[in-house]
Structure 1
Amino acid sequence: MNNETRLHRAAALLDDAAHMRREIDQFEPGSFTLDEAYLIQRASIRRRIGRGERQIGIKLGFTSRAKMIQMGVDSLIWGLITDAMVEEDGGVVDLGRYIHPRVEPEVCFLTRRDIDGPLTALEAADRIEAVAPAMEIIDSRYRDFRFSLEDVVADNCSSVGLVVGAWSRKLDGLGNAGVRMQFDGRDVQVGSTGAILGHPLRSLVQASKLLHGAQMVLPAGSLIMAGAATAAQALPPGVHVQCQIGSGAGALGRVEFRAMEALS
């Protein structure tokens, strides 16, 4: 089996597992390199685009120390977002689509200019059209949510869904805004946007470098999920999930959804 065939088979295995809501075993250690894991990820996304989905942005993963510790890895990673992953703010999320979903609070950026090369922090701020509170729904195809760094990258960094709140231009208070995620009004994760690489804007700088290394251009109007501000929380059916970022006049705002099982 040549290398291209091997990587495409891995992409098909992961894509089919997501479609069929089926756990798979981790790949054998050393099955592929990190660079090859990203090739698998893109091949899997191309299958989805071939079915009619549209790529609309990127997500960063393991940008907080809490997430690195939780998942047992030590490197920042990134994945791709398609339009089929977007859930409605205030709507209902069908957990019947997933295997063992979790949710985490994030900050989402909307770009106003192409990102076509490495950026400084000042240049990154100039690329932003708006910012919003957000939550990402993650779901690993691997059994027991256990994986190596290469495994999770190949699996699009466990990204399956996102809920984005109202857009604003409130960039000044992003550096250390309080983050509170609740299930049915009860705190389940509390933290700060400062956990996202010290400041969420640094995620744009890192994203620009990653894109440049992959010889990719992120067009204007794209989403960038900056990474989790806290550890992820297992998502049971029937709960109302709400995330508030910041407080008072400078608050970034709130985003929410209700999780339900097997709606279709």
Structure 2
Amino acid sequence: MTKIDSFAAVLDDAAHHAHDVQQFPAGQFDLDQAYAIQRASIERRVARGEHRIGIKLGFTSRAKMVQMGVDNLIWGWLTNTMMDEDGGVVDLKRFIHPRVEPEVCFVTRRTIDAPLTALEAVDYLEAVAPAMEIIDSRYRNFKFTLEDVVADNCSSAGLVVGPWSRDFSGLPNAGVRMQFDGRDVQVGSTAAILGHPLRSIVQASRLLHQAGLSLPAGSLIMAGAATAAEALTPGLHVQCRIGSGAGALGQVAFSTR
């Protein structure tokens, strides 16, 4: 087993059996190797019968990039077993220390196989929806380096997607409100996602191109968090609403047990 495969096995086992692991010693792998570990970990999931349904983006705020000392977003894979139903119940036993973030989700209508411009991006999209991502670092105490989190599939663990819309006009600077049991826990704006969520499609196309990959039509793209994450506990009703009035994206919700 190679070093890459060894790290991938540790992280995949932690995710599969919902147990945390110690952060790896510093300098064990660089960023390119971290993405190789991520790919090897996802291949282990595919071998168990999962299939890829899209990608998620991380570090979509300038403040987060500065904090981590990077110039680009990071990204990870989404698989079918990560998705839960809008309005359904999410079993927290399959996670270690889950947190939830309000997001915008896109579905592609054309294969993304080259870097896109901002003008081209919307032509590659079928629809947009309000969404929430459940993140769950496999590292103890949610502590990690940039390389660690990339290797760990950027903490991707679950997602819930609301109703789809073909209207993209309400995306810039739409209000975002996430509630637990009817109480506001995070309030923000879609402008926190790279200034405009459609810019995440441009960035995703560049990242995929750099990795020598394409994204098939019908794939999901989680554009990145609009606010900070909130820790999840059993017995909650979690709801996120994006926008208001005629241009609102709508709402997405789930309960926890």
1:241 matched to 2:238? The reply is yes
Cα deviation for residue 87 of structure 1 reads: 0.5
1:131 and 2:110 correspond: no
Aligned with 2:172: secondary structure? Answer: helix
- What is the distance in 2 between the residues matched to 1:246 and 1:15? 37
Q: Corresponding residue for 1:73?
A: 68
Query: Of residues 193, 215, 220 in structure 1, which corresponds to 2:217?
Result: 220
Following TM superposition, by how much is the alpha carbon of 1:133 offset from its aligned partner in structure 2, in angstroms?
0.2
Q: Secondary structure in 1 aligned to 2:68?
A: coil
Number of the residue aligned with 1:104? 101
- Matching residue's letter, 1:185: G
Superposed CA deviations along residues 182-241 of structure 1, whole A, max 9, x for unmatched, are 000000000000000000000000000000000101000000000000011111111000
Partner of 1:86: 83
Task: State whether structure 2 residue 193 is matched by structure 1 residue 196.
Answer: yes
Q: Deviations over 1:87-131 (max 9, x none)?
A: 000000000000000000000000000000000011111001000
Residue 169 of structure 1 corresponds to 166
In 1, the alpha carbon distance for the partners of 2:256 and 2:59 equals 24
Q: How far apart are residue 64 of structure 1 and its match?
A: 2.1
Instruction: Note if 1:254 corresponds to 2:251.
Output: yes
2:47 is the counterpart of 1:53: no
- Root-mean-square deviation (CA, aligned residues, Å) is 1.1
Query: Helix, strand or coil for the counterpart of 2:115?
Result: coil
Deviation at 1:68, TM superposition (A): 5.3
How far apart, CA to CA, are the structure 2 residues paired with 1:175 and 1:13? 40
Look up the equivalent residue of 2:36 and give its one-letter code.
L
Separation in 2, partners of 1:46, 1:56? 13
Point out where structure 2 has 5 or more consecutive residues left out of the alignment.
none
Q: Distance between the aligned counterparts of 1:209 and 1:108, measured in 2?
A: 18
User: Helix, strand or coil: the match of 1:218?
Assistant: coil
Counterparts of 2:85 and 2:37 in 1: how far apart (Å)?
Answer: 29
Equivalence for 1:155? 152
- Are 1:23 and 2:54 matched, yes or no? no
Q: Is the partner of 2:253 in helix, strand or coil? A: strand
- Which residue number in structure 1 is paired with residue 143 of structure 2? 146
Cα deviation, residue 242, structure 1: 0.1
Alignment of 1:23-42 (within 5 A): 23-42=20-39
TM-score, structure 2 normalization: 0.97
Measure the CA separation in 2 of the matches of 1:100 and 1:200.
27
Consecutive unaligned residues of structure 1, counting only runs of 5 or more, are none
The residue identity in structure 2 corresponding to 1:209 is R
Amino acid at match of 2:100: V
- Partner SS, residue 198 of structure 1: coil
Partner AA of 2:183 in structure 1: R
Q: Return the alpha-carbon distance in structure 1 between the equivalents of residues 97 and 26 of structure 2.
A: 23
**Does structure 2 conserve the Cα–Cα contact (< 8 Å) formed by 1:112 and 1:127?**
yes
Matched, 1:208 2:198: no
1:134-165 CA distance string (max 9 Å, x none):
00000001010000000000000000000000
Counterpart secondary structure, 1:123: helix
1:67: how far off? 5.1
For the residues of structure 1 that align with 2:69 and 2:241, how far apart are their CA atoms? 28
Confirm or deny: 8 A CA contact 1:240 1:256 kept in the other structure.
yes
Structure 1 window deviating more from structure 2 (167-176 vs 204-213): it is: 167-176
TM score, norm. by length of structure 1:
0.94
Tell me the distance in 1 between the aligned counterparts of 2:53 and 2:144: 26
